[in-house]
C-alpha cells in the first residue's frame, strides 16, 4: 500500500511542478463559470448597432443595395419595382459605363423556354447580391400575368390552416415543458465531465510513455507490482481530477442561476452534483483503464496519439443517447441508456440534472458501472503485466489470451 501511495505521490508531485497544470487549474473554472454569462453577452451584441457582415450565408436579400438596370426582351415585366428599366442593351451599357448603375440584367426573348438571364457588370463574379431580387421580380411578374389573380395568390400561398381543436402535436427532441436553463446546466456539466475524463486518460498515457522513454519503467517494475504501479498512477491522477472538477463545479455553483433576467444556465443543485460525481470518477477510471490497454499494446507515442484521437471520438458517442432521453425521460430506452455501463457515466448525470431519477435506478446504475470499471481495471492490469511477459515477441491474439491467464 505504501508503494502505491509513493507512486501516487510522485505522480501528483510531477504534475504540480508543471506550469501547464496551474494554467488549466485556473482557466477551467473561469471558462466554465464564464459560460453562464454568455446569454448576457449575446443580448448585448444583439442590441449593439453593428453593420451586417456579407457572407455566403446571407445572399438571399430581395432588396437592392445599389442601382441596377433591366432590359426585358421577353416583355414579361409590368412592374419594374426597384429596378431601372432600359429599352435596349446599348442604353443600359451606356448607363453602366457612366456608372449610374452598378450592373444590368438582360432577360432573353425566349425566357419562358430557355430560362436565360444575363447580368453584365464591370467586375463579374459567380455570386451576385442582386440575383435574389431579379428572381423575385420575375416570379412576381409571372404570377401577375395570370388571368385569375386568385390563382396567383394561391400559387404563392396555397394553404392557411384554421384549426377547430387543440394544437397539433409537434415532433421535438426537447419537450415543450422542459426548463431550458436546466438543460443548459446539464449540458455544461456533461461537457466538463467529458473534458476531465479525456484529459485524465491523456495524462495517464503520457505518464506511462514518459517512464518508458526515460527507461525508468524497468527499474520501477522490479520494485513494485503492476497493481501498485498502475494503482498509484491512477490514484494520483484521480486526486488531481477531483481537484479540477471540484474547483470548476464550485465556480459554476456560485455563478449559474445568478443572471437577473433569468437567462443562462440554471443553478446547479448540490445534491444532484454529489450523486453525479461517483459516475464521473468511475467513468474516469474506466477510460484510464482502456487507454492503458492502448498504451501497452501500442507503446509508440506517435501510434498511440492517433489511437487516442480515435478513442476520444468514440467516447463522445454516448452523447447521442441524449436525443433518446430528452423526448421520453421515463421510457425504456432512457432507462437502458442510464443503466448500461458504457453510456451511464455520462447519461446518468445528464438524466439526473434534467429530470428526476428513481433512487433504485441510480443505485443499480452505480453497481453495474462499478463492476464494469473493476473488470476494465483488471483487464488493463493483466495487459500491463503481459507487456513485460511478451517483451521481444510478436504479439498475437492467441499469445495475449494465453498470457492473460498465466
* Selected binder of other proteins within 134, 194, 249, 381 (CB under 8 A): 134
**Contacting other proteins within 172-201 (CB under 8 A):** 172-173
- We find the least distance from the C-beta atom of residue 129 to other proteins, in angstroms, to be 7
**Contacting other proteins within 194-233 (CB under 8 A):** none
- We find the least distance from the C-beta atom of residue 155 to other proteins, in angstroms, to be 6
- We find the least distance from the C-beta atom of residue 178 to other proteins, in angstroms, to be 13
What are phi and psi for residue 232, nearest 5 degrees? -60, -45
Which own/partner pairs from 214-223 qualify as long-range (CB within 8 Å, at least 24 positions apart)? Answer: 220/7, 221/388, 223/3
* Selected binder of other proteins within 151, 274, 371, 375 (CB under 8 A): 151
* CB within 8 Å of 339: residues ≥ 6 apart: 361, 364, 365, 368
The region of 14-22, 240-248, 324-332, 351-359 touching other proteins under the rule CB under 8 A is 324-332
DSSP reduced 3-state for 323:
helix
Q: Nearer Cβ to other proteins, position 175 or 358?
A: 175
**Contacting other proteins within 55-84 (CB under 8 A):** 55-57, 59
* Selected binder of other proteins within 121, 209, 238, 263 (CB under 8 A): 121
**Contacting other proteins within 79-118 (CB under 8 A):** 93, 96-97, 105, 107, 111-118
Q: Nearer Cβ to other proteins, position 236 or 293?
A: 293
- We find the least distance from the C-beta atom of residue 389 to other proteins, in angstroms, to be 21
What are phi and psi for residue 85, nearest 5 degrees? -80, 145
DSSP reduced 3-state for 76:
coil
- We find the least distance from the C-beta atom of residue 261 to other proteins, in angstroms, to be 30
164 and 158 Cβ atoms separated by less than 8 Å: no
- We find the least distance from the C-beta atom of residue 25 to other proteins, in angstroms, to be 20
DSSP 354-379: HS---HHHHHHHHHHHHHHHHHHHHH
- We find the least distance from the C-beta atom of residue 319 to other proteins, in angstroms, to be 11
Q: How far apart are CA 371 and CA 69, in angstroms?
A: 75
The size of the interface with other proteins (CB under 8 A), counted in residues, is 75
| Closest listed residue to residue 234, CA positions, set 92, 368, 378 | 378
Is residue 119 close enough to count as binding other proteins by CB under 8 A?
yes
* CB within 8 Å of 287: residues ≥ 6 apart: 197, 198, 200, 201, 315
Q: How far apart are CA 287 and CA 373, in angstroms?
A: 9
Q: How far apart are CA 12 and CA 6, in angstroms?
A: 10
* Selected binder of other proteins within 46, 87, 99, 123 (CB under 8 A): 123
Give me the half-sphere count of Cα atoms (radius 13 Å) on the Cβ side of residue 169: 4
The region of 80-88, 134-142, 371-379, 382-390 touching other proteins under the rule CB under 8 A is 134-142
Is residue 401 close enough to count as binding other proteins by CB under 8 A?
no
The strand order across the sheet containing 68-72 reads 84-86, 68-72, 103-107
Is residue 299 close enough to count as binding other proteins by CB under 8 A?
no
Is residue 311 close enough to count as binding other proteins by CB under 8 A?
no
- We find the least distance from the C-beta atom of residue 161 to other proteins, in angstroms, to be 6
Is residue 168 close enough to count as binding other proteins by CB under 8 A?
yes
Q: How far apart are CA 398 and CA 404, in angstroms?
A: 10
Is residue 302 close enough to count as binding other proteins by CB under 8 A?
yes
| Closest listed residue to residue 204, CA positions, set 28, 15, 383 | 15
The region of 50-58, 189-197, 236-244, 358-366 touching other proteins under the rule CB under 8 A is 50-58
Is residue 54 close enough to count as binding other proteins by CB under 8 A?
yes
- We find the least distance from the C-beta atom of residue 309 to other proteins, in angstroms, to be 10
* Selected binder of other proteins within 2, 17, 20, 122 (CB under 8 A): 122
* Selected binder of other proteins within 52, 169, 260, 262 (CB under 8 A): 169
Element (H, E) at 84: strand 84-86
105 and 74 Cβ atoms separated by less than 8 Å: no
Amino acid at each position: 500500500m505504501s508503494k502505491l501511495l509513493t507512486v501516487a505521490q510522485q505522480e501528483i508531485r510531477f504534475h504540480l511542478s508543471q506550469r501547464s497544470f496551474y494554467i488549466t487549474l485556473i482557466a477551467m473554472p473561469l471558462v466554465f463559470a464564464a459560460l453562464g454569462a454568455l446569454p448576457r453577452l449575446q443580448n448585448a451584441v444583439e442590441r449593439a448597432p453593428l453593420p451586417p457582415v456579407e457572407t455566403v450565408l446571407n445572399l438571399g436579400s430581395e432588396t437592392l443595395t445599389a442601382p441596377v438596370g433591366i432590359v426585358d426582351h421577353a416583355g414579361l415585366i409590368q412592374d419594374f419595382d426597384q429596378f431601372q428599366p432600359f429599352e435596349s442593351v446599348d442604353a443600359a451599357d451606356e448607363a453602366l459605363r457612366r456608372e449610374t448603375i452598378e450592373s444590368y440584367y438582360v432577360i432573353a426573348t425566349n425566357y419562358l423556354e430557355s430560362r436565360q438571364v444575363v447580368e453584365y457588370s464591370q467586375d463579374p463574379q459567380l455570386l451576385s447580391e442582386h440575383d435574389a431580387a431579379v428572381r423575385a421580380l420575375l416570379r412576381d411578374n409571372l404570377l401577375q400575368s395570370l388571368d385569375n389573380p386568385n390563382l396567383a395568390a394561391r400559387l404563392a400561398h396555397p394553404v392557411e390552416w384554421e384549426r377547430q381543436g387543440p394544437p397539433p402535436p409537434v415532433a421535438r427532441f426537447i419537450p415543450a415543458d422542459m426548463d431550458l436553463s436546466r438543460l443548459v446546466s446539464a449540458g455544461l456539466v456533461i461537457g466538463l465531465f467529458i473534458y476531465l475524463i479525456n484529459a485524465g486518460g491523456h495524462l495517464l498515457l503520457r505518464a506511462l510513455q514518459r517512464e518508458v522513454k526515460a527507461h525508468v519503467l524497468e527499474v520501477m517494475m522490479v520494485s513494485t507490482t503492476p497493481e501498485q504501479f498502475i494503482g498509484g498512477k491512477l490514484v494520483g491522477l484521480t486526486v488531481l481530477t477531483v481537484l479540477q472538477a471540484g474547483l470548476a463545479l464550485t465556480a459554476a455553483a456560485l455563478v449559474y442561476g445568478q443572471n437577473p433576467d433569468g437567462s443562462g444556465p440554471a443553478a446547479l443543485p448540490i445534491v444532484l452534483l454529489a450523486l453525479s460525481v461517483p459516475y464521473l470518477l468511475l467513468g474516469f477510471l474506466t477510460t484510464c483503464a482502456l487507454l492503458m490497454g492502448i498504451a501497452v499494446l501500442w507503446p509508440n507515442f506517435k501510434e498511440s496519439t492517433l489511437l487516442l484521437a480515435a478513442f476520444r471520438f468514440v467516447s463522445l458517442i454516448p452523447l447521442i443517447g441524449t436525443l433518446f432521453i430528452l423526448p421520453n425521460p421515463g421510457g425504456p430506452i432512457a432507462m437502458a441508456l442510464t443503466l448500461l455501463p458504457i453510456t451511464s457515466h455520462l447519461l446518468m448525470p445528464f438524466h439526473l440534472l434534467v429530470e428526476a431519477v428513481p433512487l433504485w435506478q441510480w443505485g443499480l446504475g452505480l453497481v453495474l458501472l462499478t463492476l464494469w470499471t473493476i473488470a476494465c481495471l483488471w483487464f488493463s492490469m493483466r495487459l500491463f503485466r503481459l507487456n513485460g511477459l511478451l517483451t521481444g515477441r510478436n504479439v498475437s491474439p492467441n499469445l495475449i489470451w494465453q498470457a492473460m491467464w498465466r
